[in-house]
Amino acid sequence: MGEHTIREVLKRRSDDTQRVIRRRRERATKRSAAKHTSQGVLIALMITVLVILAALGYMGWLTHEIDSRFVADRTANALGRNRVTLNLQTTTQFLPNTLLAAMDPNFYNNSNMTLSPLTSRLVRGYFPDASAPSIATMSVALQLRYSRTDILEAFINDVNLGQHNGQPVRGFAAASLVYFKKPFVQLQPQDIALLVALAADPGDVESLGNQGKVLALRNAILQMDAQQNVLSQTQVDALKKSPLDLAP
């Protein structure tokens, strides 16, 4: 075999060898990439599972917190510890009807998974520094565990209605004594409407010295009673003319 022929054979073999080597490198690169991809997917999956478990654990903790607080306050209210409370079955129906008309007309109609403004307001009173997602989680948990009537009665007795002498005014019975200097049973519908306005936004307590603004707040709640058929428009128009009966 001539030298030229030998060189051609060696060249062909060298080219073939290079192609084989390249193919082996490509396969090795693909296997390595696939391995890294699989590892990345596995790590991402593990992180996702850990995040889900952490979220579920946090939701469980929030549920325990709101349940413990709700039960403790219901027990204290039932025993009459330290303050006067109201029983939803024995108090005037004008109070719960006006509350629902002003704050949550669909309170009894929405599903337990639907976030109720009234429930949220109650939970916010229990945990004023909690984040909005935490409030929503605890509110739904409360609705899933307790009846709407239980929640409404707790709201009436535990909602924050401002402050007096540096202490929170909790519940309508206490607010009646603070703002009107009389038991709740002696309040007139227009007085109850004013307390409902404070329950909807306790920041309005700062307006109690402004008679015009207080009248506007009260009358807005009364008008909602007319809109929700709690009172007739004729009754509401008459009550709007009533003077404020706030204690000095």
* Domain membership flag for residue 47: no
pTM: 0.77
* Domain membership flag for residue 35: no
**CA–CA dist 93, 138 (Å, integer):** 27
* Domain membership flag for residue 28: no
Please give the residue range of the domain that contains residue 57. 53-240
* Domain membership flag for residue 163: yes
Q: Which helix (H) or strand (E) holds 138?
A: helix 132-145
* Domain membership flag for residue 24: no
**CA–CA dist 120, 114 (Å, integer):** 11
* Domain membership flag for residue 16: no
The three state secondary structure string of 62-127 is: HHHHHHHHHHHHHHHHHHCCCCCCCCCCCCCCHHHHHHHHHHCCCCCCCCCCCCCHHHHHHHHHHC
Given a cut of 60, whether residue 4 has pLDDT beyond it is no
pLDDT digits (tens, 9 = 90+) for 48-58: 777 676 776 77
pLDDT digits (tens, 9 = 90+) for 84-142: 889 888 889 999 999 999 999 999 998 888 999 999 999 999 999 999 999 999 999 99
> What residue type is 105 in one-letter code?
P
What's the pLDDT score for residue 15? 62
Contact 135, 48 (CB under 8 A): no
* Domain membership flag for residue 13: no
* Domain membership flag for residue 212: yes
Range with top average pLDDT, 9-23, 36-50, 84-98, 179-193: 179-193
Count of the separate structural domains present in the chain: 1
Percent of the chain with pLDDT over 70: 83
Stretch 201-218: mean pLDDT, rounded? 82
* CATH code of the domain covering residue 57: 1.10.3810.10
